[in-house]
C-alpha cells in the first residue's frame, strides 16, 4: 500500500482516514463534536428511540439531515435534525456528499 500524505499536517501515512493521518483525523473529530459526551448521549438516545433505518435494517448511525451539520452546530443535538441510518445507507449518503 502506498504512503499517502496527510491533507492537514503533510505527514506520510500508510493507512489514512479520509486522506488524513490518525492524529489529524482524531483532532478533526474532536473539533467537530463527534467525540463529545453530549453527542454520544444524544446519538445513543436517538438510536434507542429510532432503532431502524428507512430500509428496515437496524440503525447504527445518528445522521444529520443537513450536509455539514455537526454536533457543535446550532440544532446539532436536536432530534428533529437527525435521521437513524444503517451503515449501508449512511455510506451511500456520505458518498453523494462527495460528488
Ligand atoms: Zn496529519
Ligand atoms: Zn438503511
Helix (H) or strand (E) holding 49: helix 37-49
- pTM for this predicted structure: 0.78
Q: 97 and 62, same structural domain?
A: yes
Q: How many CB atoms lie within 10 A of CB 53?
A: 20
pLDDT at position 81, please? 98
Rounded distance from Cα 1 to ligand 1 centre (Å): 18
C-alpha cell, 54: 428507512
Rounded distance from Cα 48 to ligand 1 centre (Å): 35
- Which residues form the domain of 13? 1-32
Rounded distance from Cα 54 to ligand 2 centre (Å): 6
pLDDT at position 98, please? 72
Mean pLDDT by 10 residues, the chain (99 residues): 91 94 94 95 98 97 94 96 97 83
Cβ–Cβ < 8 Å for 6, 25: no
Q: Which ligand sits closest to the CA of 90?
A: 2
The rounded distance, in Å, linking the Cα atoms of 60 and 85 is 6
Q: Give strand ranges (E) for the chain.
A: 4-5, 12-13, 61-64, 82-85
Q: 88 and 63, same structural domain?
A: yes
Q: 20 and 54, same structural domain?
A: no
Amino acid at each position: 500500500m502506498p504512503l499517502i500524505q496527510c491533507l492537514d499536517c503533510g505527514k506520510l501515512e500508510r493507512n489514512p482516514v479520509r486522506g488524513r493521518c490518525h492524529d489529524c483525523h482524531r483532532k478533526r473529530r474532536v473539533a467537530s463534536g463527534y467525540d463529545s459526551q453530549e453527542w454520544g448521549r444524544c446519538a445513543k438516545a436517538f438510536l434507542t428511540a429510532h432503532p431502524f433505518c428507512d430500509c428496515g435494517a437496524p440503525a447504527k448511525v445518528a445522521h444529520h439531515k443537513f450536509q455539514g451539520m455537526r454536533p457543535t452546530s446550532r440544532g446539532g443535538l436536536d432530534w428533529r435534525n437527525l435521521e437513524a441510518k444503517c451503515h449501508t445507507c449512511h455510506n451511500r449518503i456520505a458518498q453523494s456528499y462527495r460528488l
